[in-house]
Chain A
Amino acid sequence: GAVVSQHPSWVICKSGTSVKIECRSLDFQATTMFWYRQFPKQSLMLMATSNEGSKATYEQGVEKDKFLINHASLTLSTLTVTSAHPEDSSFYICSARGVVGGHQETQYFGPGTRLLVL
């Protein structure tokens, strides 16, 4: 099956520092990658959509200068949380959309990255 990896799986940082999260599609090329944020007991909140080689499209209310997204290749996207603050603490999940094994193009999720800002 399709595998999407994220690194790191969890990170603790001090307020004011920047944190980079990597998302890789391991066995397929992702035409589009997505970044989500999830609070406890809630559904996934889409932050941004990115296509390889172009600028990300951010959802309303998501600060693009705060959450920098780079999608440099068809298998790698990064999310950088700049000048992190405690309110940025959350579970960040990436997702990659692509065709796997000749099946319908669909969207697969990474395992998530738990960020705790002290």
Chain B
Amino acid sequence: GESVGLHLPTLSVQEGDNSIINCAYSNSASDYFIWYKQESGKGPQFIIDIRSNMDKRQGQRVTVLLNKTVKHLSLQIAATQPGDSAVYFCAERSTGFQKLVFGTGTRLLVSP
């Protein structure tokens, strides 16, 4: 079911550093994964997705890695910028199911 948390884990980085945000999932039947970025007061914004037949996918400044063996997903952001500061959510979905299951989210703080 949906994850609920009172305190978001926070990752603080310096501008220009690379950021790695991690996500663990529990459903071994999940075959589609998405990373979303949510800025304060806004809806989640699609960043990148990956299907379970891949273990890596790259976008512009972002890379998603999928390790199905340990059910782990990560989002790497290269040369992090202050504009990357937001809450990042991973989401998973299984074939035949319509709804996404969201992780608790990680707050990324980028200082200049």
Chain A positions within 8 Å of B, measured between CB atoms, are 1-2, 4, 6, 32, 34, 41-46, 49, 91, 93, 97, 104, 106-112, 114
From the candidates B3, B6, B98, B104, name the one contacting A97 in the complex (CB within 8 A): B98
The total of interchain contacts (Cβ-Cβ below 8 angstroms) comes to 60
15 more A-B residue pairs beyond the given contacts A44-B44, A44-B102, A110-B43, with a C-beta to C-beta distance below 8 A: A41-B5, A41-B6, A43-B102, A43-B103, A43-B104, A43-B105, A45-B2, A46-B100, A49-B99, A93-B44, A106-B34, A107-B34, A111-B42, A112-B41, A114-B41
Contacts of B99 in A (CB 8 A): 34, 46, 49
Measured in the bound complex, the distance between the Cα atoms of B41 and A91 in whole Å is: 8
> Which residues of chain B are within 8 angstroms of A1 by Cβ–Cβ distance?
46
* Chain A residues, Cβ within 8 Å of B43: 4, 6, 93, 109-112
> B8, B89, B99, B103: which has the most chain A beta carbons within 10 Å?
B99
Cβ of B52 within 8 Å of any chain A Cβ, yes or no, is no
Q: How far in angstroms is the closest Cβ of chain A from B97? A: 10
Q: Residue B49 at the A interface, CB < 8 A?
A: yes
Is B68 located at the chain interface by the 8 A CB criterion? no
B100 touches A42 (CB 8 A): no
Residue of B nearest to A94 (CB): B43
Q: List 27 A-B contacts (CB under 8 A).
A: A1-B46, A6-B43, A34-B99, A42-B5, A42-B6, A43-B2, A43-B5, A43-B102, A43-B103, A43-B104, A43-B105, A44-B2, A44-B102, A46-B100, A91-B41, A93-B43, A93-B44, A104-B49, A106-B49, A107-B34, A107-B46, A108-B46, A109-B36, A109-B43, A112-B41, A112-B42, A112-B43
Within 8 A of A (CB), among B69-112: 89, 91, 98-100, 102-105
| Interfacial chain B residues near A97, Cβ < 8 Å | 98
3 nearest A-B pairs in the assembled complex, by CB-CB distance: A109-B43, A112-B43, A109-B44
Complex: A112 Cα to B102 Cα, angstroms: 17
**B51 contacts chain A at the CB level, 8 A cutoff:** yes
Whole-angstrom distance from the CB of B100 to the nearest CB of chain A?
6
